Amino acid sequence: MRKLKKSLLIKLHLYAGIFTSFYLLAFGLSTLILNHDLKVEKHDIKEKWTKTMDFDRNLPDRELGRAIRDKLGLMGWVIGWNIERTDEELKFTVTHPGRDYHIVANLDDGSIVVSEAPKGFIAVFHGLHFFNGLVPNAPFLLRTWALYQWLALFTFFVSLVLGLWLWIKYNYHPWEGWTFGVLALFTFIIMLLI
Amino acid sequence: MKKGTNFYTVTRKVHLYAALATAVLVLMYIVTSYMMIYYDFFKTHESREHTETVAINSTNFSENNWQKFMTKHDISGRKVAEYENDNDDLVRRYESTGEITTVTFDGEGRSAEIRKQIKSAGGKIVARHRMRGYGGPWQYNLYAFLLDMTGISLILFAITGVIMWLKILNHNRIAWIIFISGLAYVSVVIGYLLLV
């Protein structure tokens, strides 16, 4: 009975761990990137294309940016703080964790120039830390990331608690308990001091 | 056989110690992640402001005098920014998990405006999730070091966990289904973000 219980707990710990392992990799890498303020995003323009379309020039800048984004079928947020408008054109950026679209819309003839800057794999992997899937114009699959994130956190918690339980119940050594107990207390105190 | 056993033992120990060494921070991350997801409920974005203007003799503080100024006016945290605003006034910003303090010295060096943004209880807890980077007083550097350890530990958890699974339950169908579905899902999400 005891062996059966142990085996079941190990399996549960394992299943929960496997489910959350990819999220942990992204979270771990991202923690290091943030802590050292590493610049991992690439900004080089890799592709440039044009399109002509009708749009309502009387809309406020950001609304017009969103309207153009939607007509172009692009996924991402319109960044509010770098919109530039003159009598002739509207310049703005649409962004998501994997790509920036720098857009110049000619307000006279309706021509749009889109310059694409992919951010690169590491930036995307790092971006999963903050990503909740709720990007404008994102497909359903991407929107499910919010659910995956919620479940990954929950299963990580379950995995952690089960792992600690298995250690205490079946593999506990007093020196480990003391060493890591003191370290845990120390960490907690530092958390209170900042 | 012995070599294999040793490798497994070492992997298991690395997995365990990585978890034990960072369990407190990891638990904090999990709890605060949920608090950020439900930020309306926990009111993590709320804060109250307090502003006062105090007389000063000069903006040219020595380090010692500046520390006294901070202590006298209860300015906590570490300096996160120093710049001149549009009026050419010197601005210093300090941030701790509890509050953000912005000190603006008037151009003539006669007064300083101290504006404090005091975070809600939820905001103070979540601020520990957002606090990062080296610099400032010793406790902030130590915290940054612990964050580095946590980042490395999380990567080690995942890698050693998968290695142990392959060793212990390699033929377990459920584990393979979870692993392959997770890999496929995350790969599709990353691929989509990379390509679209």
CA distance B58 to chain A (A): 29
Q: How confident is the model at residue B1 (pLDDT cuts 50, 70, 90)?
A: very low
Same domain, B37 and B53: no
Same domain, A78 and A114: yes
Same domain, B54 and B76: yes
Residues spanned by the domain of B88 = 47-119
More confident of the two residues B10 and B2: B10
Instruction: Establish if A136 touches chain B: CB-CB under 8 angstroms.
Output: no
User: CA of A21: which chain B residue's CA is closest?
Assistant: B158
Q: How confident is the model at residue B57 (pLDDT cuts 50, 70, 90)?
A: confident
Locus of tokens 């691929």: B191
Is A130 inside any structural domain? no
The contacts of residue B53 (CB under 8 Å, 6+ apart) are B111, B112, B113, B114
What is the rounded CA–CA span in Å between residue A43 and residue A123?
11
Q: What is the pLDDT of residue B87?
A: 86
Tell me which of A102, A119, A136 is where a domain ends. Answer: A119
Is B168 inside any structural domain? yes
Is A92 inside any structural domain? yes
Measured CA to CA in angstroms, residue A94 lies from A65, A84, A100 at distances of 8, 13, 6
Tell me which of B70, B90, B119 is where a domain ends. Answer: B119
Is A156 inside any structural domain? yes
Q: How confident is the model at residue A1 (pLDDT cuts 50, 70, 90)?
A: low
Is B132 inside any structural domain? no
How is residue A106 annotated by DSSP?
E
The contacts of residue B129 (CB under 8 Å, 6+ apart) are B28, B29, B32, B33, B36
Is A74 inside any structural domain? yes
Tallying the residues shown for chain B, one arrives at 196
* Encoded tokens for B38: 């439900």
Locus of tokens 């942990």: A24
Contact A190 B147 (CB under 8 A): no
Q: How many domains does chain B have?
A: 2
Same domain, B25 and B70: no
Residues spanned by the domain of A103 = 47-119
- Chosen for mutation from A31, A130, A159 (greatest number of chain B CBs closer than 10 Å) is A31
Q: What is the pLDDT of residue B75?
A: 92
Tell me which of A119, A137, A164 is where a domain ends. Answer: A119
φ, ψ for residue B174, nearest 5 deg? -60, -45
Q: How confident is the model at residue B64 (pLDDT cuts 50, 70, 90)?
A: confident
Is A125 inside any structural domain? no
Contact between A83 and A92 under an 8 Å Cβ cutoff? The reply is yes
Contact B147 A141 (CB under 8 A): no
pLDDT tens track for B78-89: 999 999 988 888
Cα-Cα-Cα-Cα dihedral sign, residues B142, B146, B147, B152: positive
Q: What is the pLDDT of residue B106?
A: 85
Q: What is the pLDDT of residue B8?
A: 85
Is A62 inside any structural domain? yes
Q: Which of B16, B152, B190 sits opposite A167 (nearest CB)?
A: B16
Q: How many domains does chain A have?
A: 2
